[in-house]
Amino acid sequence: MGRKIAFIFALTLFLLVGTGFYAWKIEPKSLSVTEIEVTSKQLGDSLNGIRIVQFSDTQLGESFTAKQLGKLAERINSLKPDLVVFTGDLIDHYTQYGLNNRKQAQKALVAIQAPLGKFAVYGNHDRGGGGSGRYERYMEEAGFKVLVNEVYPIVTADGDRLVLAGLDDFLLGKPKPETTLEQLRKDDFNLLLAHEPDPADRFSEYPIDLQLSGHSHGGQVRIPFLDPLVTTSLAEKYVAGQYELPGKYRPMTLYVNRGIGTTRMPLRLFTKPELTVIRLSAQGN
């Protein structure tokens, strides 16, 4: 009996240590690519097959470096996106992230290629940490258009419209969903970028086809078949993956990206860092 108890104790200790090592050193450095398809009758033929790559929550700092961001940029380019969107939280704490690191990270962002453009919104870490007044310029110098409560139409040569709307961060910014989203036309394909996912329930009155968000890190540490152990404000209802929400004009697809970096603790368990590839499909094609 004594040997059996000792064996069980040793096995349990081994599993705990092994799981901790995996969550600390292995999973945070892995990467998964999730591909989804969004079909809509609002998409014209010239927008059929458009590929959008979303990345989010890099949280640049000790746990995710500028060098790793460079590798991520290479991976994004290998996916051959037509459009790239970043849904917030670039640097974990701007003023603590040195100038040389910021320059190196910016070069990585510059290297990302997307013929239809690169777009970003503010996250709560972009508004906090001393970066609020610098983030927009920093990203635009890297070739990203930062949408702060504004709408940006992409119009093809055939006149088809893909309209992006971007809202300021809901926790530390000054989002203006009503005045921003009332500009959307019901005949266009409308894509909303918003860092936090849970406000999606407030947008049912607007003709939004797709909302892309991050913020949650997918819960960051999850035990199979259980709810996330750690959630964050405005990412408690919609934590990770794809959701279909009802709307006044048409259903809206919400996708919550698990992010790239970590926050609070440098651990990930059953929530691998993620890139999302969204393929747009014109209904009938």
**Are both 113 and 12 inside the same structural domain?**
no
- Three-state SS at 234: coil
Give the CATH number for residue 148: 3.60.21
Range of the domain at 151: 32-282
**Are both 26 and 103 inside the same structural domain?**
no
**Are both 180 and 235 inside the same structural domain?**
yes
* Tens-place pLDDT, residues 208-260: 999 999 999 998 888 877 777 777 999 999 999 999 999 999 999 999 999 99
Cβ within 8 Å of residue 211, ≥6 positions away: 191, 192, 193, 194, 197, 200, 203, 252, 253, 254, 255
Whole-angstrom distance, CA of residue 199 vs CA of residue 213: 10
- Residue 126's pLDDT is 97
**CB-CB contact of 112 with 118 (8 Å):** yes
- Residue 267's pLDDT is 85
- Residue 114's pLDDT is 98
**Are both 22 and 37 inside the same structural domain?**
no
Q: What are phi and psi of 40, to 5 degrees?
A: -155, 140
Element containing residue 178 per DSSP (H, E)? helix 177-181
**Are both 46 and 62 inside the same structural domain?**
yes
**Are both 38 and 169 inside the same structural domain?**
yes
**Are both 83 and 16 inside the same structural domain?**
no
* Tens-place pLDDT, residues 140-170: 999 999 999 999 999 998 999 999 999 999 9
**CB-CB contact of 40 with 283 (8 Å):** yes
Report pTM: 0.94
Rounded to a whole number, what is the distance in angstroms from the first to the last CA of the chain?
67
Whole-angstrom distance, CA of residue 239 vs CA of residue 200: 12
- Residue 1's pLDDT is 56
**CB-CB contact of 266 with 63 (8 Å):** yes
Whole-angstrom distance, CA of residue 267 vs CA of residue 221: 7
Whole-angstrom distance, CA of residue 226 vs CA of residue 107: 40
Instruction: Write down the mean pLDDT value for the chain.
Output: 92
**Are both 206 and 258 inside the same structural domain?**
yes
**Are both 18 and 69 inside the same structural domain?**
no
Number of domain units in the chain: 2
- Residue 15's pLDDT is 58
Instruction: Tell me what the mean pLDDT of segment 178-202 comes to.
Output: 98
**Are both 274 and 244 inside the same structural domain?**
yes
Element containing residue 17 per DSSP (H, E)? helix 2-21
- Going by pLDDT thresholds of 50, 70 and 90, the confidence category of residue 7 is very low
**Are both 18 and 79 inside the same structural domain?**
no
Q: How many CA atoms within 13 Å lie on the side-chain side of 2?
A: 0
**Are both 205 and 221 inside the same structural domain?**
yes
